[in-house]
A and B are shown apart, each in its own frame.
Chain A
Amino acid sequence: MAEFVPHPELPPPASSVGVVGWMRRNLFSGWLNSLLTVVALYLVVTALPPLLNWAFFSADFVGESRDACDSGGACWVFVNARFSTFMYGFYPAAQAWRVDLIFGTLLLLMSPLFFTGFRYKLQLGGFILFVYPWIAFGLMHGGLLGLPVVETAKWGGLSLTLLLAAVGCIAALPLGVLLALGRRSTDMPVVQTMCVVFIEFWRGVPLITVLFMSSVMLPLFLPEGVSFDKLLRALIGITLFQSAYMAEVVRGGLQAIPKGQYEAADALGLGYWRKMGLIILPQALKIVIPGIVNTFIALFKDTTLVIIVGLLEILGMVQNALNDPNWLGFSTEGYVFTAFVFWIFCFSMSRYSQWLERKLHTGHKR
């Protein structure tokens, strides 16, 4: 009887694995792909070195004034010198620790939320959403515990950007959910109509006009002597505007939930709010995470528009610095820096949402 000899285990052909295999599959799989690869390579080779050269190799980083910038590249000295105004606006330098404390504490408070094992997420989340904003406002504004008052008009820079974006996101999400639920409540025509009118009104106007109206038109309607804080008006405008967008995103999620889920919840006698809160919304919101984050990112960038009402967030502060006679002509550096800051935040949000999607995906979609 012939002895059984197993077929020897052979390595895969060299052309299908390793660097060569990868390049074949991804870069040169056809003549069109090969052509695109070559063109892309050419663009990278021609554009990247000068860019790196400008931004790093022949750039100046340290110095006191524009005289330090003589290497021919970017003059980061400008950003360096004005860095604190970009971060804090006109917030007094001696009080800037308050801003640091607020955002540092917030980061610290939020960090347990990212761990899976933490047990008191709901309580901590509730604290961050409903209690912390008041503490933060008290600290930022001052006037208690012997802290000197810093009026909102002095707030600015990146801290203002973050404030506008955070308040906008946190307030717009629940409002948007309510609006979306209202718009779908066919058995309450009055509520439904009100929600539709609200959403369509706010979606129909540009944010810039909303901000403009809130600062120019609103005072005309208010009685003499009553004045709203400028920042508060901008916050309300942004929140209402974003909630309309959020409502439409959430509505998309609600529509994606099969009718059977509503019926099963009804049949168990859950009632409207429990049905929505426990069954429908958790599933719907999960589906629309990309849409929600997309709206957040758009909002984050839209905060730059508050410049129209004279609030100077980071872009406003950079533009303000560019008008300084000592620093004329460094607009490229200023705008590149601003773009970089925005990119960091928006990219982080995008990565976080992808991570969240993966985490919440339990592979149980029927």
Chain B
Amino acid sequence: MAESANAAQAPSQRTDEVMIELRGVHKWYDKFHVLRDINLTVTKGERIVVCGPSGSGKSTMIRCINRLEEHQQGQIIVDGTELTSDLKQIEHIRKEVGMVFQHFNLFPHITVLENCVLAPMWVRKMPRKEAEEIAMNYLGRVKIPDQAMKYPGQLSGGQQQRVAIARSLCMNPRIMLFDEPTSALDPEMIKEVLDVMVELAESGMTMICVTHEMGFAKTVADRVIFMDRGEIIEQNEPHEFFNNPQNERTKLFLSQILNH
């Protein structure tokens, strides 16, 4: 049985090169202890799925990785650079780390194509022509090249989320973070976004993905992480994680989301 589950999995392209390392990370919102002693190492090409109950600190953890939130204790090292309050290093890391949000956060005042070329042109100083070629290539890969001249508000939720993924990829990041990319979507649009994410995973991208799409976790994840109350409670490869959870809270959580 273990063999058949593994056969369904996309081939892993992980190596031993460490891309992200969190060492003893703590974070507080005022007095509220959101992250408690988080330790996590992600190697190049590894695909991680993070799950856990609402309010457990999943978003906070991945937002610390590109410094949308500041951690107060411990070390976060991304692609060899440690995150400190040094603005230069923060901007350097943000160039290498793409992020996709639950609510897409496309820029509504410019077209889809402009959304995609903006950062490459202004941050990577790429000439417009080259940036547009790359953008059209990625829009093709997420299967909406014909929407390039539209404004985000003229697209469906699923299309917007695919644009958001393309926009991040245009920066040619080495790491992609996803924060519940499908939870604001109608059921019929979830698949089109997941398909794009699966394809991205197969291309060898290092990914951390907060999601409750357990099907996605089973097919692409190298490791599933379960968080509760600011701690990593359990982590394992997906087959073991779903079939043989060790911790009581993991079992409870899995029974809730798998049998709803």
Which residues in A have some Cβ–Cβ distance to B below 8 Å?
258, 260-261, 263-271, 274, 278-279, 282-283, 286, 362-366
Complex CA gap A270/B168 in Å reads 12
Partner of A260, one of B101, B119, B152: B101
Q: Are B153 and A365 in contact (CB under 8 A)?
A: yes
What would 20 more interface pairs be, CB under 8 Å, given A278-B122, A366-B108?
A264-B99, A266-B94, A267-B68, A267-B94, A268-B167, A268-B168, A268-B171, A269-B91, A269-B92, A269-B119, A269-B123, A270-B122, A271-B123, A283-B107, A283-B108, A362-B109, A362-B153, A364-B108, A364-B154, A366-B153
Contact of A264 among B92, B97, B101 (CB under 8 A): B101
A318 to B109, CA, bound (A): 46
Is B105 a contact partner of A263 (Cβ separation < 8 A)? yes
Do B152 and A264 touch (CB < 8 A)?
A: no
Return the contact of B109 from the options A258, A267, A286 (Cβ within 8 A): A286
B residues near A267, Cβ cutoff 8 Å? 66, 68, 94, 97-99, 168
| CB <8 Å contact, A264 and B151 | no
Query: A268 contacts B119, CB within 8 Å?
Result: yes
Whether, in the assembled complex, B22 has its beta carbon less than 8 Å from a beta carbon of chain A, the answer is: no
| Residues of chain A contacted by B119 (CB below 8 angstroms) | 268-270
Interface residues of B in 106-131 (CB under 8 A from A): 106-109, 118-119, 122-123
B74-101 with Cβ < 8 A to chain A: 91-92, 94-95, 97-99, 101
Known contacts A260-B101, A362-B151, A363-B154: A266-B107 contact under CB 8 Å: no
In the complex formed, the residue of A with least CB distance to B100 is: A267
Residues of B within 8 A of A258 (CB): 105
Q: Residue B103 at the A interface, CB < 8 A?
A: yes
CA distance A283 to B94 in the complex (A): 23
Using Cβ atoms and an 8 Å threshold, which residues of chain A touch B123? 268-271, 274
Enumerate B143-174 residues with CB–CB distance to A below 8 Å: 151-154, 167-168, 171
- Please measure, in the bound complex, the distance between the C-alpha atom of A270 and the C-alpha atom of B98, giving whole angstroms: 12
B151 close to A364 (CB less than 8 A): yes
Nearest-neighbour CB distance to chain A for B53, whole angstroms, equals: 23
Q: Is the interface of B mostly helix, strand, loop or mixed?
A: mixed
We find that the number of chain B residues with CB closer than 8 angstroms to chain A is 27
Residues of B within 8 A of A282 (CB): 109
CB pair B95 A269 closer than 8 Å: yes
A160–B32 Cα gap in the complex (Å)? 60
For the residues of A in contact with B, the DSSP-based class is helix
The residues of B that contact A279 with a CB separation of less than 8 Å are 107
Q: Which chain A residue lies CB-closest to B150?
A: A364
Taken together as a complex, chains A and B put the C-alpha atoms of A363 and B151 apart, in Å, by 9
Instruction: Specify the chain A residue showing the minimal Cβ separation from B171.
Output: A268
Q: Are A264 and B94 in contact (CB under 8 A)?
A: no
Please name all residues of chain A whose beta carbon is closer than 8 Å to the beta carbon of B101 when the two chains form the complex: 260, 263-264
Q: Which residue of chain A has its CB nearest to the CB of B93?
A: A269
Complex-state Cα separation, A267 to B168, whole angstroms: 9
Q: Which residue of B lies closest to A268 (CB)?
A: B119
Q: A365-B153, A366-B153 are in contact. Are A264 and B107 (CB under 8 A)?
A: yes
- Return A364 CB to nearest CB of chain B, in Å: 3
Residues of B within 8 A of A266 (CB): 66, 68, 94
- CB-based contact A271/B68 at 8 Å: no
Name A272's closest neighbour in chain B (CB-CB): B87
Closest 9 CB pairs of A and B: A364-B153, A269-B94, A264-B105, A364-B151, A260-B105, A268-B119, A267-B99, A269-B95, A364-B108
- Closest chain A residue to B96, Cβ basis: A269
Chain B positions within 8 Å of A261 at CB level: 105, 107
**Residue in chain A with minimal CB distance to B107:** A279
- Asked if residues A363 and B153 are in contact (CB atoms below 8 Å), the reply is yes
Q: What are 6 A-B contacts with C-beta separation under 8 Å?
A: A266-B66, A270-B123, A271-B123, A274-B123, A362-B153, A364-B153
Which residues from B are CB-within-8-Å of A363? 151, 153-154
Contacts A362-B151, A364-B152, A364-B153 known; A269 to B171 CB distance under 8 Å?
yes
Which A residues lie within 8 Å of B108 (CB)?
283, 364-366
Report whether A283 and B109 are in contact in the complex, using a CB–CB cutoff of 8 Å: yes
A270–B90 Cα distance when bound, in Å, is: 11
Tell me which residues across on chain A come within 8 A of B107, comparing CB atoms.
261, 264-265, 279, 283
